[in-house]
């Protein structure tokens, strides 16, 4: 599978997964901070991390994608924490995916029966912008 197709699939999966129940699926701690893992939930990037890093007590559980990239022995890279099947995708894609997940304003937080697709207008726009960036090659380097 090429990288663009894989990013589009990850983006759609992320949207569909969190839109189904943003209140209970987003990885938010008791203080409202986004984490890669909190309890049984994972954030957008956390869902693709190796199991060893999917722990509340992982010391970098609250780091940004940029901070994780800086900690790589391979230069600016996040693959060191991700499962092998998603290696090679642009770190900026992971950063934008994480920002999409983290912003509460992208989600409609209501009862599932009261939602159309779980995304706010702002969330729909953010989603479309990431999708456009993928298809136009913005994450190819």
Q: Give 79-138 as a DSSP string.
A: GGGB-GGGTT--HHHHHHHHHHHH-GGGB--S-GGG-SSSB-HHHHHHHHHHHHHHHTTT
C-beta separation of 36 from 42 below 8 A = yes
Instruction: Specify the residue for token string 């990037």.
Output: 45
Q: For 60-108, what is each residue's pLDDT tens digit?
A: 998 999 999 987 777 788 999 999 999 999 999 999 999 998 888 888 8
- Which pTM value belongs to this model? 0.88
* Packed helices 121-135 and 91-102: angle between N→C axes, nearest 10 degrees: 170
- When computed from its CA atoms, the radius of gyration of the chain, rounded to whole angstroms, is 15
C-beta separation of 87 from 81 below 8 A = no
113 pLDDT higher than 60: no
């Amino acid at each position: 599978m090429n990288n663009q197709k894989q990013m589009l699939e990850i983006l759609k999966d992320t949207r569909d997964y969190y839109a189904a129940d943003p209140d209970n699926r987003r990885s938010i701690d008791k203080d409202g901070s986004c984490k890669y893992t909190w309890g049984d939930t994972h954030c957008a990037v956390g869902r693709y991390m190796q199991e060893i890093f999917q722990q509340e007590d992982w010391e970098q559980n609250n780091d940004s994608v940029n901070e994780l990239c800086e900690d790589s022995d391979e230069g600016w890279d996040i693959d060191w924490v991700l499962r092998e099947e998603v290696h090679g995708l642009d770190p900026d894609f992971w950063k934008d995916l994480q920002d999409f997940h983290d912003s509460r304003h992208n989600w409609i937080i209501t009862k599932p029966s009261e939602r159309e697709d779980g995304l706010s207008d702002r969330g729909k726009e953010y989603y479309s912008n990431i999708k456009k960036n993928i298809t136009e090659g913005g994450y190819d380097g």
